[in-house]
Amino acid sequence: MKERLKTATLVMLVLGSLVQSYFLIYRLPGSDSVVRAENSYIKTETMGPEEKAENLIYPKKILIHLGDNKHTVFYPDQMFYELVYNRLKGREFDSFQRRKVNNMDWSKLRSSSKGIELSFGSGMPVTLLQKVMQIKPDSLFDGESIHKMWLYSIDGEPKVHALFFSTEGDVVYEAAQVDLTIQDIHQLVDFGKDWVPYTMQEENSLYIPEEPVGMVSMVLPIGMYTVEQMQRSLFFDPSITRNIRERDGSEIYTDSKRSLQVDEGQNWMNFTDPAAPPSGESSPGKDVLSAIEFVNQHGGWNGGYRLSQSKDNKDRTLVEFQQYHRGYPILNTLDFNYGIMKLELQNGTVTSYERSLLYIETEEQKKKIVNLPVGDELREQLDILSKSMKIVDLEPAYLPYITETGLWLKPVWAVQLQNGSMKALE
């Protein structure tokens, strides 16, 4: 009888332990099986492929300084761009020293010394650049954002200088330890010897090509994400959303917390979640990674993109991704919103998400080579524009137009203005 009681007691203890384990695993807060908090990024309907952060972080162009006031420019997807960038990504940079920008004669250095200049546009957080380049952690440097990286050698000196220019404007960091030799720099610079020659204008530091710059004009088939797809992607329960039509013709879909505004004329959407609770400490680098994860889980990427902006705005971070095709940016214009994704984050949580509902297919149609204006013709256009606007940069780009057969990408020169906006030269 005692043995039976012991056995029964043991069975009850085992069953009780199993029941307790079940509730611990499946019911307590923090368990993976519990429905996640509403502000977490849950994988939803897939409309485009996901993308890794490393594939979105790269320079908008690489300037090659050949010495004797000779220069050239490489753009993404060009063979020499890839060769130079891939080699630099494998080299180490360590022991950073902070300097003032105005302590150097940059114009003289640019014209007389051989070097490589990587332009990142409006700025790249160092913590993100560390994902693609061998930049050693450094407490002095890690919190910065840089807008360009410059590697050069000076005749008679045995070392390579590696400078990182802060977006603050008056600060530059030099890596005291660089895994590059003077021969390495000269070999990379030599890739530009037979490329299109560029002349730098001293008054505005713009680089003007002196020989033809060819781009491919083309038409690409397009598709469009439906409102239903976006609702399934962005709302936790699309069945409870209600529709509101605005006077300007746009449609708003809301579940009383979040809203999805669709401009049918522009095929543009703006999703806002103002009630998203803060999730903790953040930084521009972390916020960019959160933005990439959000796009991965809520629509995906409809083509190639580059991180073009990561900007602090008080307690918020503005993140922008620029769409590229054949290595050139597709411009977003007032007449046609396309070519960018914009996100706003607060403490690592996305509170605003804007993008086009249009997407392009990969098959290119009606292709032809177009030569952009160069030399004096281009200088004349820039001189006219500079009388009314402050120009800070120049690059080839695509101007998009909707046609009956798809999206026409027209090759143009685009200038960046002092306020950060882009304008096509036509």
Q: Note the pLDDT tens digit of each residue in 268-303.
A: 999 999 876 666 677 889 999 999 999 999 989 999
Q: Is 338 helix (H, G, I), strand (E, B) or coil?
A: coil
| Mean pLDDT computed over 324-329 | 97
Long-range contacts of 11-17 (CB under 8 A, 24+ apart): none
pLDDT at 354 over 90: yes
More reliable by pLDDT, 47 or 165? 165
Quote the pLDDT of residue 33. Answer: 29
On average, the pLDDT of the chain sits at: 86
Q: What is the token pair recorded at 289? A: 């990674």
Q: How far apart (Å, rounded) are the C-alpha atoms in residues 163 and 280?
A: 33
The pLDDT-based confidence of 18 (bands split at 50, 70, 90) is very low
Say what angle helices 182-189 and 79-89 make with each other, to 10 degrees. Answer: 160
* pLDDT of 371 above 60: yes
Q: How far is CA 363 from CA 218, 248, 398, in A?
A: 10, 35, 17
Amino acid 336: pLDDT: 92
Higher-confidence residue of 102 and 340: namely 340
For the chain, give me the number of helices (H) and strands (E)? 8, 26
Please check whether residue 322 is in contact with residue 339, taking contact to mean a CB–CB distance below 8 angstroms.
Answer: yes
Residue 88 has pLDDT above 80, yes or no: yes
Q: Is the per-residue pLDDT at 7 higher than 60?
A: no
Instruction: Please report the pLDDT score of residue 239 as a whole number.
Output: 76
Q: How many residues does the chain have?
A: 426
83 versus 274: which is more confidently predicted?
83
CA distance 425 to 53: 32
Query: In the prediction, which pLDDT does 100 show?
Result: 87
Instruction: Render pLDDT for 219-250 as a digit per residue (tens, 0 to 9).
Output: 999 999 998 999 988 987 777 778 887 766 67
374-421 residue pLDDT tens: 999 999 999 999 999 999 999 999 999 999 999 999 999 999 998 888
Q: Regarding beta strands 134-135 and 92-100, do their DSSP bridges make them parallel or antiparallel, or are they unpaired?
A: parallel
CA distance 374 to 209: 5
Question: Which residue ranges form the domains of the chain, and what is each CATH number?
Answer: 53-195 (no CATH), 222-360 (3.30.310.160)
Question: Do residues 241 and 235 make contact, with C-beta atoms less than 8 angstroms apart?
Answer: yes
Q: Model confidence at 14, in pLDDT bands (50, 70, 90)? A: very low
Structure confidence at residue 268 (pLDDT) = 95
Tokens standing for residue 69: 């006031």
Q: What are the structure tokens assigned to 146, written together?
A: 């840089």
What residues pair up with 63 in beta bridges, in sequence order?
73, 117
pLDDT given at position 12: 56
What tokens appear for 97 in the block? Answer: 């020293």
In three-state secondary structure terms, 103 is helix
At 395, phi and psi to the nearest 5?
A: -160, 155
Residue, of 32 and 416, whose pLDDT is higher: 416
pLDDT tens, residue by residue, 111-132? 889 999 999 988 899 999 999 9
Q: Residues 346-372: what's their mean pLDDT?
A: 92
> Can you give the pLDDT at residue 85?
97
